[in-house]
Structure 1
Amino acid sequence: MSAANPFPPEVVAAVMRHMNTDHADDCRVICQGLGSQPTATAAAMSGMDADAMEFLAVVDGVEVPVRVPFSSRIAERRQIRAEAARMYREACAALGRTPRPEAS
């Protein structure tokens, strides 16, 4: 852990596993709508710190790093879910899509 990343590696790994297993499509939508990669065909979370989530998005068959900032610096694990849901909802809005009801 560092000042920039209050989350130990096992927490980051658990969040990545959850996002990439249960929310792979959300990762793609976040990269398309908030990560300046509108043509991404896939994405996976690759890391995070107190300020942002990081992804590897597939654009034209090439993995591109994408960093999407949180609305504010976070320090507690419970904040991660709220920020991921916010990112998804805002990405859907940016793309003109309706988010899943459970993401509200």
Structure 2
Amino acid sequence: MPHIFDDSVTAAVLHHMNDDHTDDNLLIARAFSEPGDSEITGAVMTGFDGDAGTWTVSRGEDETVLVVPWPSGSITERPEVRREIVALYDAACERLGVEPRPHA
């Protein structure tokens, strides 16, 4: 059974990802969809648990759900969520041949 984060943690992470990192959501969706799908027009992070992040991915009028496992495996602590999302971003950049920006 994957770890379930408190609602306040989930809301804060989703707010941050969907307000401040919309391009990162799109990059992750394009990189981890099968195959790396350049037809994706939008991606919104809709949830996460201790095993994976979840995005709703748009291709025109169609929407699908994309679940991407955390690169380091299962997590249980809030700081680990950031670490894993950054790792997904870095992996997405590598898969798509995009220069990643520095992490603060």
TM-score if structure 2 supplies the norm length?
0.89
Contact 1:40 1:58 in 2 (8 A): yes
Kindly report the root-mean-square deviation, in angstroms, between the aligned alpha carbons of the 2 structures.
Answer: 1.4
Matched, 1:43 2:43: yes
**What residue ranges of structure 2 are gaps of 5+ in the alignment?**
none
Contact 1:47 1:54 in 2 (8 A): yes
Query: 15, 23, 39: which one pairs with 2:21?
Result: 23
The corresponding residue for 1:99 is 100
SS at match of 2:103: helix
SS at match of 1:46: strand
The CA distance in 2 between the partners of 1:67 and 1:6, in whole Å, is 15
Contact 2:46 2:55 in 1 (8 A): yes
**What residue ranges of structure 1 are gaps of 5+ in the alignment?**
none
Give the deviation of 1:24 after TM superposition: 0.8
Letter in 2 for 1:61: E
SS at match of 1:100: coil
Give the deviation of 1:63 after TM superposition: 1.5
Give the deviation of 1:61 after TM superposition: 2.5
How many equivalent pairs are there?
101
Give the deviation of 1:82 after TM superposition: 0.8
Structure-to-structure mapping, 1:9-88, within 5 angstroms: 9-36=7-34, 38=37, 39-71=39-71, 72-88=73-89
